[in-house]
């Protein structure tokens, strides 16, 4: 094995390092141990995408390219988790164990009263955004890997992406999901009472 050179100006792994070390007080976090974890994952990825855009916008106004992949992955995963939350919490069946956003969206549409809700502007707009994300990354690989399983470069949209617009669109979708969750919860409670 070649000898690795330690750069003493930078942090280097230590045998004392523990990745998930326990700590109380400021700067600690606890995993949830209940069904709400699913929603926390959805909301956490949505917030992570927002924070990455904020960090990028604070640093520079020109795209260096590295952050767009985790930004889009966070947002895509947030959409997937939000849809799966709705299906698992309010649907008749468990969500499919795949990454097909469009299929998941169709299952949610069915839950809220079928295709008739497609005429509602908010539902129609949410569907269009979900379809755009689905088309950009059908298998949840495009923003995580450069090449597919056959080692072929994954094609992505060409041209600059307006990050402020991306964040704004995702904020609207996040608010839609929050409202949908509350509405389905209310409908569920009503049905349980009667």
String of DSSP letters for 135-175 = HH-SSS-TTT-SB-TTSPBPP---S---HHHHHHHHHHHHH
Q: Which residues of the chain have pLDDT under 50?
A: 115-116
- pLDDT value at residue 52: 93
- pLDDT value at residue 30: 78
- pLDDT value at residue 116: 46
**CA separation for the pair 123, 183 (Å, rounded):** 13
- pLDDT value at residue 62: 53
Domain map (residue ranges) of the chain: 37-193
pTM higher than 0.85, yes or no? Answer: no
For the stretch 111-138, pLDDT in tens is: 887 544 555 889 999 999 999 999 999 9
């Amino acid at each position: 094995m070649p000898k690795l050179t330690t750069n003493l100006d930078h942090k280097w792994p230590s045998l004392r390092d523990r990745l998930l070390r326990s700590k109380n007080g400021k700067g600690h976090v606890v995993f949830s141990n209940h069904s709400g974890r699913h929603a926390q994952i959805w909301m956490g990825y949505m917030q992570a995408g927002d924070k990455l855009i904020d960090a990028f916008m604070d640093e520079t106004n020109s795209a260096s390219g590295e952050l767009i992949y985790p930004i889009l992955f966070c947002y895509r995963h947030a959409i997937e988790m939000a849809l799966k939350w709705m299906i698992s919490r309010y649907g008749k069946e468990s969500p499919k164990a795949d990454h097909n956003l469009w299929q998941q969206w169709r299952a949610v549409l069915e839950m809220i009263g079928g295709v008739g809700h497609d005429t509602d502007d908010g539902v129609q707009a949410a569907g269009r955004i979900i379809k755009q994300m689905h088309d950009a990354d059908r298998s949840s690989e495009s923003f995580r890997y450069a090449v597919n399983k056959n080692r072929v470069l994954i094609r992505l949209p060409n041209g600059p992406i307006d990050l402020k617009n991306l964040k704004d669109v995702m904020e609207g979708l996040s608010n839609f999901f929050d409202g949908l969750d509350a509405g389905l919860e209310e409908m569920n409670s009503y049905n349980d009472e009667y």
